[in-house]
């Protein structure tokens, strides 16, 4: 199986390479085979990309917003027309089941391009009446923005970052995760085909050092990173020391609270979505499932029944519901957490094994795994595992579960399942998390701001909030009379 792109990087509207860069193999996680080999960006490639962006941005920012938006909406249409082909590429890059990538990945990027392409023309400044004189505000582009992606939602991440950036008149240099470099290149070609002028969306490949070089480049005005908390702290420190704008979308260990009165099947469906979708590699996953005592036993029994039915296997088979982990390192990390859970005394209620699938013996598969009798202090309840490992904890009282849910350094997401609506809103208001759900889990439509509290990040993606964060506000005072000068 091969998925070799025309070259490693996409700069100024064309593919370029520099074979001096460190090799960057692309591994298909289902088989462990190398499907492409790219090169990490050299300093020369980084300079070319930043310079292309710098040169192209001012003319783009001077276009009418509706004209910029039209190109984004055209690119959204192309993404949708090529959904099947892009979903396949994303499955090869990530190992995620094709039944997911067909509905969740290019489609979500297309939603972002369509939304921001449409919203930007209405995203206007203010008029401020000063009793004669007046003021107005302008929302201006920042200039060159850098996007740095994670590997779980590669094309979605590239779309979520580039769409608001470009809509507001910025240029972007995007560095995908070294694990999933392919689909951002496809997006770059699509932007060009849709009429985006050269230099406005550039893709450079590389490891963390390339991300660091981009984030500290003097021309760069803003960095938006999706990644782990330790990486976020490094990049935020760097951008802070250089007074650059920054958005940080980081990790989590989110609580999902199920009250006794919840609809059992819906709550289980939410918990499974929030732990097993994308093989558990979702930042907002509700990996601490708190179930109230009265429902707990029925919940875990039925949860295991439904989990048993999950079909693991060939990611390109439309019947497959769960693919492998992204790579061997992540596979081994998740397996070590399963070992830690057992050693800590949690009950391995379901899974925990490594299925050996015919034809996929070298793939990075792990069964969906459920621990019960988990306590708050266990490492599996405190640390982000980023794999298909659910911890079920039981609770008695509303106040108690709120305190326990909030007892974490993270604050990305939270969910509540209950039929008691006043309680749902009361509990959500107390939870320290940026993105919350009532009676569902993990849906992130582009219209809704997405981001974290506490260590889970700073800033927001999606919604009009993203347009604010990819722009700067200029205030203009306009005198309509004489200058009252004492001199
Ligand atoms: P990671 O932190 O290892 O890497 C993220 C990106 O940062 C990669 O592109 C990497 O090359 C780059 N990078 C690494 N070191 C860098 C440095 N010093 N300077 C600049 N760039 C650097 O994360 P990952 O393993 O790719 O992704 C998993 C993590 O991402 C999890 O913690 C997950 O929760 C988080 N995540 C968060 C969100 C969100 O929106 N909040 C979404 C997806 C994933």
pLDDT digits 0-9 by tens, 398-408: 999 999 999 99
Between CA 387 and CA 335 the distance in angstroms is 9
Between CA 363 and CA 323 the distance in angstroms is 9
HSE, CB side, 13 Å, CA atoms: give it for residue 333: 14
Decide if 203 contacts 188 (C-beta within 8 A): yes
- Please say if the pLDDT value at position 368 is more than 90: yes
Out of 90, 114, 161, 222, pick the active-site residue. Answer: 161
Termini Cα distance of the chain = 79
Nearest to 83 by CA among 111, 56, 57, 103: 103
Residue owning the nearest CA to atom 32 of ligand 1: 228
Does 363 sit in the ligand 1 pocket, CB within 6 Å?
no
Does 148 sit in the ligand 1 pocket, CB within 6 Å?
yes
How is residue 227 written in tokens?
């990644």
Which of 226, 329, 435, 448, when mutated, tests ligand 1's pocket best, judged by the most ligand atoms within 8 Å of its CB?
226
161 is catalytic: yes
CA of 225 to the centre of ligand 1 (A): 7
Decide if 483 contacts 147 (C-beta within 8 A): no
Percent of the chain with pLDDT over 70: 100
- Please say if the pLDDT value at position 347 is more than 90: yes
Identify any residues that bridge with 11 across adjacent strands, giving them in sequence order: 14
Identify any residues that bridge with 472 across adjacent strands, giving them in sequence order: 140
145 is catalytic: no
Q: What pLDDT sits at residue 417? A: 98
Q: Is 150 annotated as a binding residue?
A: yes
Out of 90, 249, 367, 436, pick the active-site residue. Answer: 249
DSSP 8-state class, residue 203: E
pLDDT in tens, 408-446: 999 999 999 999 999 999 999 999 999 999 999 999 999
Nearest to 252 by CA among 290, 282, 208, 291: 282
pLDDT in tens, 192-204: 999 999 999 999 9
Does 249 sit in the ligand 1 pocket, CB within 6 Å?
yes
Between CA 207 and CA 467 the distance in angstroms is 28
Count of all residues that appear for the chain in the document = 487
- Please say if the pLDDT value at position 1 is more than 90: no
Decide if 125 contacts 137 (C-beta within 8 A): yes
Q: Is 47 helix (H, G, I), strand (E, B) or coil?
A: helix
Decide if 92 contacts 363 (C-beta within 8 A): no
DSSP string across 171-192: EEEEE--TT--HHHHHHHHHHH
461 is catalytic: yes
| pLDDT average, residue stretch 132-145 | 98
Decide if 414 contacts 452 (C-beta within 8 A): no
pLDDT in tens, 26-55: 999 999 999 999 999 999 999 999 999 999
DSSP 8-state class, residue 133: S
Phi, psi of 337 (to 5 degrees): -65, -35
Which of 227, 246, 282, when mutated, tests ligand 1's pocket best, judged by the most ligand atoms within 8 Å of its CB?
227
| pLDDT average, residue stretch 3-8 | 98
Residue owning the nearest CA to atom 5 of ligand 1: 227
| pLDDT average, residue stretch 75-83 | 98
Decide if 167 contacts 467 (C-beta within 8 A): yes
H/E stretch holding 413 = strand 413-417
| pLDDT average, residue stretch 334-353 | 98
Between CA 78 and CA 72 the distance in angstroms is 10
Out of 100, 283, 367, 436, pick the active-site residue. Answer: 283
Atom of ligand 1 nearest to the CA of 451: 41
249 is catalytic: yes
Q: Is 327 helix (H, G, I), strand (E, B) or coil?
A: coil
Q: Strand 369-372 vs strand 347-350: parallel, antiparallel, or unpaired? A: antiparallel
Query: How many CB atoms are located within 10 Å of the residue 181 CB?
Result: 27
């Amino acid at each position: 199986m091969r998925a070799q792109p025309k070259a490693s990087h996409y700069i100024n509207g064309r593919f370029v390479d520099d074979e001096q860069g460190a090799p960057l193999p692309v591994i298909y996680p289902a088989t462990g085979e190398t499907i492409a080999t790219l090169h990490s960006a050299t300093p020369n490639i980084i300079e070319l990309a930043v310079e292309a962006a710098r040169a192209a941005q001012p003319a783009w920012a001077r276009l009418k917003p509706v004209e910029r938006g039209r190109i984004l909406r055209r690119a959204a249409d192309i993404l949708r027309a090529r959904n099947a082909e892009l979903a396949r590429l994303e499955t090869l890059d990530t190992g995620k089941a094709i039944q997911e990538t067909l509905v969740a990945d290019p489609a979500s990027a297309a939603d972002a391009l369509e939304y921001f392409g449409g919203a930007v023309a209405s995203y206007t400044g203010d008029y401020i009446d000063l009793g004669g004189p007046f003021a107005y505000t302008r929302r201006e582009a920042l200039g060159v923005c850098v996007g740095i992606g994670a590997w779980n939602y590669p094309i979605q991440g590239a779309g979520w970052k580039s769409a608001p950036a470009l809509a507001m008149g910025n240029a972007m240099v995007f560095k995908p995760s070294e694990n999933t470099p392919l689909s951002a290149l496809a997006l770059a070609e699509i932007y060009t085909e849709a009429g985006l002028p050269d230099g406005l969306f550039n893709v450079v490949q590389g490891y963390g050092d390339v991300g660091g070089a981009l984030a500290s480049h003097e021309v760069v005005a803003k960095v938006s990173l999706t990644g782990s908390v330790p990486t976020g702290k490094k990049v935020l420190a760097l951008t802070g020391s250089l007074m650059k704008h920054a958005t940080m979308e980081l990790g989590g260990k989110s609580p999902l609270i199920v009250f006794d009165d919840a609809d059992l099947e819906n709550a289980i469906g939410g918990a499974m979505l929030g732990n097993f979708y994308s093989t558990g590699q979702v930042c907002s996953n509700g990996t601490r499932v708190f179930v109230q005592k009265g429902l707990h036993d029925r919940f875990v029994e039925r949860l295991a029944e439904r989990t048993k039915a999950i079909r693991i296997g060939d990611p390109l088979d439309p019947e497959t519901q769960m693919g492998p982990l992204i790579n061997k390192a992540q596979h081994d990390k998740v397996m070590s957490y399963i070992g830690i859970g057992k050693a800590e005394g949690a009950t391995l209620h379901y899974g925990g094994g490594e299925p050996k699938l015919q034809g996929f013996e070298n793939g990075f598969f792990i069964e969906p795994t459920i621990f019960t009798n988990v306590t708050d202090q266990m490492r599996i309840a405190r640390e982000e595992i980023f794999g298909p490992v659910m911890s079920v904890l039981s609770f008695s009282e509303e106040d108690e579960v709120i305190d326990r849910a909030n007892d974490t350094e993270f604050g990305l997401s939270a969910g509540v399942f209950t039929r008691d609506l006043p309680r749902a809103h009361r509990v959500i208001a107390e939870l320290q998390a940026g993105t919350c759900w009532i009676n569902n889990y993990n849906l992130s439509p582009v219209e809704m701001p997405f981001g974290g509290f506490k260590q889970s990040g700073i800033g927001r993606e999606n919604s009009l909030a993203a347009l604010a964060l990819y722009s700067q506000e200029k205030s203009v005072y306009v005198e309509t009379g004489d200058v009252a000068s004492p001199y």
